[in-house]
Amino acid sequence: MTKVLVATEKPFAAAAVNGIRKIVENAGYELALLEKYTDPNDLLKAVADADALIIRSDKATKDVINAGKKLKIIVRAGAGYDNIDLATATEKGIVAMNTPGQNSNAVAELAAGMMVFMARAQFKGGSGSELKGKKLGLHAYGYVPRMLAHIAKGFGMEIYAYDPFIPEANITKDGIKVVKNLEELYTTCQYVSLHIPANEKTKKSINYNLMSKMPKGGTIINTARKEIINEDDLKKILEERQDFKYISDIAPDCHADLLKYEARYFSTPKKQGAETSEANVNAGLAAANQIVNFIKNGDKTFQVNK
Ligand code: 3PG
């Protein structure tokens, strides 16, 4: 019998697991669950007889893929797929997919909340500032920033974006100003929200050159990946500028060094952007449906290792 393994170190909400089970069992397949595992060897064992794998930020390494002797498809229930060894998957003829857009609203709401949190002195009682009339820069314009822009308009913010992969007209039609390069985005905007993936080109790309260009009160909101920040440069700018702020959904490696800036720095203890029941249901069910459609009909929509 076809076996679908859901391996989630950070489990889906129960409603999502129930929905996934229904889809998998209605298709005549078997569902296996590996939740809250702490030892990567548990994943190696569990994947051994699985035909399909659903993961979140769980690492589908070369070893995991090689251990999955029957694997045909891996679906990352979420947006970023930097946790899948795509080269190995491709070499083995395994299809890798993500579920674009499915958990984006949750991440956008968190980014908006993070802006408010930083603008209002981290809810500690001190005097803060308002978002109304301030400039928000969207570094990339995928699903999450589009939803964030919608929320930020409600705050009365002026919105700018830079995304060389998206035609300008597709951004301006949403009432957003397009800047001609990253330098202009960071120079213009007091708030910059990061939405680029982590890959060889983007790692450490948010550097001193960009951060130092931000106007007074410059605040970076990172709900993307910790790897895209140049941490030495982040330490330098926080040290140099008493007005500069950084908030991140997952601690940077240099977290301990930044605690002395607690009034201007905050990171969530564990990545929680997509940690809502709604996002879990949307992404989890999409992943299960994509697997069934692939196995039954050969549908490869959302494949990321073409
Ligand atoms: C994503 O890439 O979809 C987000 O970072 C969410 O990741 P998570 O499923 O591990 O919470």
pLDDT tens, 268-300?
Answer: 999 999 999 999 999 999 999 999 999 999 999
Residues 30 and 167 in one domain: no
Residue 33 banded pLDDT, cuts 50, 70, 90 = very high
Do residue 84 and residue 213 come from a single domain?
Answer: no
Mind listing the pLDDT tens digit for each residue in 76-132? 999 999 999 999 999 999 999 999 999 999 999 999 999 999 999 999 999 999 999
Per-residue pLDDT, 173: 98
Query: What is the rounded CA–CA span in Å between residue 71 and residue 268?
Result: 34
pLDDT of residue 191: 99
The reply to whether 152 and 262 lie within a common domain is yes
Number of domains in the chain: 2
- Kindly list the distances between the CA atom of residue 192 and the CA atoms of 60, 64, 125, 126, 210, in Å, as whole numbers in the listed order: 31, 36, 24, 23, 10
Amino acid at 169: A
How much is the pLDDT for 280?
98
| 219 and 246 together in one domain | yes
Buried b (16+ CB within 10 A) or exposed e, 215-248: eebbbbbbbbbbbbbbbebbeebbeebeebbbbb
Instruction: Kindly state whether residue 125 falls inside one of the protein's structural domains.
Output: yes
Token readout for 219 is 């605040």
| Residue 62 and residue 83 in contact, taking contact as beta carbons nearer than 8 Å | no
Q: Beta strand pairing status for 73-76 and 245-248? A: unpaired
Ligand 1 centroid from CA 255, angstroms:
20
Structure token pair of residue 292: 């069934």
178/114 same-domain check: yes
Regarding whether 257 and 124 lie in a shared domain, the answer is yes
The average confidence (pLDDT) of the chain is: 98
Q: Is the pLDDT of residue 306 over 90?
A: no
d(CA 231, CA 125): 29
What pLDDT, on a 0 to 100 scale, did the predictor assign at position 140?
98
Q: Is the CB of 78 under 6 A from ligand 1?
A: yes
* CB 271 less than 6 A from any atom of ligand 1: yes
Model-wide pTM > 0.95: yes
Q: Which domain, by its residues, includes 34?
A: 3-102+276-297
Mean pLDDT value of segment 243-269: 97
Q: Are residues 222 and 263 in the same domain?
A: yes
Instruction: Give me the DSSP letters along 165-201.
Output: TS-HHHHHTTT-EEPSSHHHHHHH-SEEEE----STT
CB 171 within 8 A of CB 162: no
- Tell whether 94 and 133 lie within a shared domain: no
User: What is the atom index within ligand 1 of the atom nearest the CA of 80?
Assistant: 2
Q: Is the same domain home to 122 and 70? A: no
Find the helix packing angle between 14-26 and 277-297, rounded to 10°.
10
pLDDT at residue 79, as a whole number: 98
The answer to whether residue 303 sits within a structural domain is no
Of 10, 55, 56, the one to substitute when testing ligand 1's pocket (max ligand atoms within 8 A of C-beta) is 56
CB 279 near ligand 1, within 6 Å: no
Q: Read off the amino acid at residue 141.
A: Y
Average of per-residue pLDDT across 195-203: 97
Ligand 1 pocket, 56 CB below 6 A? yes
